[in-house]
């Protein structure tokens, strides 16, 4: 949606930050979420002819600013350019200005894109594993996701009395709560799997909508953006392999490519696969937490439909965990 340039708050914020008056010729709103607005500002004198302006809560903006400025800015990896931020007085909102991530949309069904993602993530996780943990980034350890599991479970149980729930919907929600309890019972193993890998920078929401593939003379490279859900901890969530690629369009990076570029040995293939299985659980918890806010409303049908997909993914992850546990026990008994 194209908006009026004159007096637009995004234009005002950019001019206040840049300290000059490069003409902004057009403002287009790209998205409006519960917590943020995103605009594209275009003009011949702007960097690259266009920049992205994102208005969000100061706490969320601080996370992205930390990622762009303090982490990505210090490692040798192609990333989105960060131009700066501007706080809106006492509104509790901040504008972030970043490079317009032009390029091809990421296609999870394309093997070359998934291989590119595996290489990029392997490099990212290796480089940031040696970086001092930034104080402003939220934790993404197994314990943090266990807390998230409790929050999701509590939100569902608190809304089982929604008058818009049909008997079928109620049954599905109770079934999902039961699954969450099964996941909780596996948490000691989940925590142990995460403990085999050092803490790193974690994007946390690597969906196709948050990634572009850019073609240059030197080849293709990945440009992830929208880091407001980032944190520091287990890299599991970024490696998630969801069977339904349309479920949040999770990128499902190629794990062989990841293993090579993360410096993992051939013998660590099983460990990487199990970390990705745990990552699928973490991603489901993250997506279910987003859906949980709609449970008290009359949009319960849409929420239950999403949870139905999450339930399928949890079932597969639990099956893989159980299978590897049996294989490990059989292997131990033969020694």
Residue 211 shares a structural domain with residue 83: no
Burial classification of residue 335, based on how many CB atoms lie within 10 Å of its CB (0-12 exposed, 13-18 middle, 19 or more buried): exposed
Residue 2, burial from CB neighbour count under 10 angstroms (0-12, 13-18, 19+): exposed
**pLDDT value of residue 34:** 67
53-57 average pLDDT score:
95
pLDDT tens digits, one per residue of 296-330? 877 788 889 999 999 999 999 999 998 876 555 44
Q: Is 154 found in the same domain as 240? A: yes
Final residue of a structural domain among 99, 132, 163: 99
Among 184, 179, 164, 79, smallest CA distance to 124 is for 79
Give yes or no: residues 221 and 150 share one domain: yes
Give the integer Cα–Cα distance in Å for 241 and 254.
Answer: 9
Residues 75, 183 within the same domain: no
Question: Cα–Cα distance between 188 and 190 in angstroms, integer?
Answer: 5
What confidence tens digit (pLDDT) does each residue in 105-150 have? 999 889 999 999 999 999 999 999 978 777 789 999 999 999 999 9
The terminus-to-terminus CA distance of the chain in angstroms comes to 66
SS3 of residue 222 by DSSP: strand
Whether 66 contacts 26, CB under 8 Å: no
Most confident of 47-51, 99-103, 163-167, 235-239: 235-239
Q: 3-class SS at 41?
A: strand
Specify whether 79 is located in the same domain as 150: no
Q: Residue 224's closest CA among 145, 125, 328, 325? A: 125
Closest CA to 307 of 204, 156, 182, 166: 156
Whether 137 and 267 share a structural domain? yes
**What value does the mean pLDDT take over residues 39-65?**
93
Instruction: Tell me: do 77 and 199 sit in the same domain.
Output: no
Query: At 39, which CATH number?
Result: 3.30.200.20
Distance CA 136, CA 139 (A): 9
Domain boundary among 99, 121, 144: 99
Beta strands in the chain (DSSP E): 2-3, 26-32, 36-42, 50-57, 82-87, 93-99, 104-105, 139-140, 200-202, 211-216, 219-224, 231-233
Same domain, 72 and 120: no
What are the beta bridge partners of residue 28?
2, 40
Residues 323, 188 within the same domain: yes
CA distance 124 to 236: 13
What pLDDT score does 50 carry? 94
Q: What burial class does residue 134 get, using C-beta atoms within 10 Å of its C-beta: 0-12 exposed, 13-18 middle, 19+ buried? A: middle
State CA 272 to chain mean position distance. 19
DSSP single-letter state for residue 100 = -
Q: Do 152 and 169 belong together in one domain?
A: yes
| Residue 280 phi, psi dihedral angles, 5° rounding | -60, -40
Domain count, the chain: 2
Boundary (domain end) residue, out of 60, 82, 99? 99
- Say if residue 111 is in the same domain as residue 45: no
Helix, coil or strand: residue 64: helix
Q: Which domain holds residue 319?
A: 104-334
* Whole-number Å distance between alpha carbons of 317 and 335: 28
Do 61 and 149 have their domain in common?
no
CATH code of residue 294: 3.90.1200.10
Tell me the C-alpha distance between 289 and 304, whole Å: 13
The span from the CA of 254 to the CA of 323, in Å, is 22
Cβ atoms within 10 Å, residue 265: 8
Average pLDDT, the chain: 89
In tens, the pLDDT along 176-211 reads: 999 999 999 999 999 999 999 999 999 999 999 999
DSSP state of 295: T
């Amino acid at each position: 949606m194209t908006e009026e340039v004159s007096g637009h708050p995004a234009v005002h914020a950019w001019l206040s930050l840049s300290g000059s008056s490069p003409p902004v010729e057009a403002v287009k709103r790209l998205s409006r979420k519960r917590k943020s607005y995103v605009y594209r500002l275009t003009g011949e004198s702007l960097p690259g002819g266009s920049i992205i302006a994102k208005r969000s809560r100061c706490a969320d903006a601080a996370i992205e600013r930390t990622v762009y400025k303090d982490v990505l800015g210090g490692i040798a990896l192609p990333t989105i350019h960060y131009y700066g931020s501007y706080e809106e007085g006492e509104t509790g909102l901040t504008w972030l200005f970043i490079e317009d991530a032009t390029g091809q949309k990421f296609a999870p069904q394309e093997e070359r894109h998934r291989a590119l993602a595996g290489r990029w993530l392997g490099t990212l996780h290796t480089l940031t594993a040696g970086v001092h943990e930034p104080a402003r980034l939220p934790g993404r350890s197994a314990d943090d996701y266990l807390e998230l599991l409790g929050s999701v479970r509590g939100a569902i149980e608190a809304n089982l009395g929604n008058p818009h729930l049909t008997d079928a919907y109620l049954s599905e929600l109770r079934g999902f709560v039961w699954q969450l309890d099964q996941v909780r019972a596996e948490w000691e193993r989940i925590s142990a799997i995460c403990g085999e890998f050092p803490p790193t920078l974690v994007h946390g929401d690597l969906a196709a909508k948050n990634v572009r593939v850019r073609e240059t003379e030197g080849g293709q490279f990945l440009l992830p953006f929208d880091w407001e859900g980032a944190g520091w901890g287990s890299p599991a969530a970024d490696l998630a392999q969801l069977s339904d690629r349309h479920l949040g369009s999770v990128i499902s990076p190629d794990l062989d490519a990841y293993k090579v570029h993360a410096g993992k040995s051939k013998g660590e293939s099983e460990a990487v696969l199990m970390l990705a299985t745990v990552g699928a659980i973490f991603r489901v918890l993250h997506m279910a937490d987003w859906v949980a806010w709609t449970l008290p409303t009359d949009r319960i049908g849409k929420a239950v439909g999403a949870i139905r997909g999450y339930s399928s993914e949890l079932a597969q992850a639990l099956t893989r965990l159980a299978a590897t546990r049996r294989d490990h026990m059989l292997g131990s008994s033969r020694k």
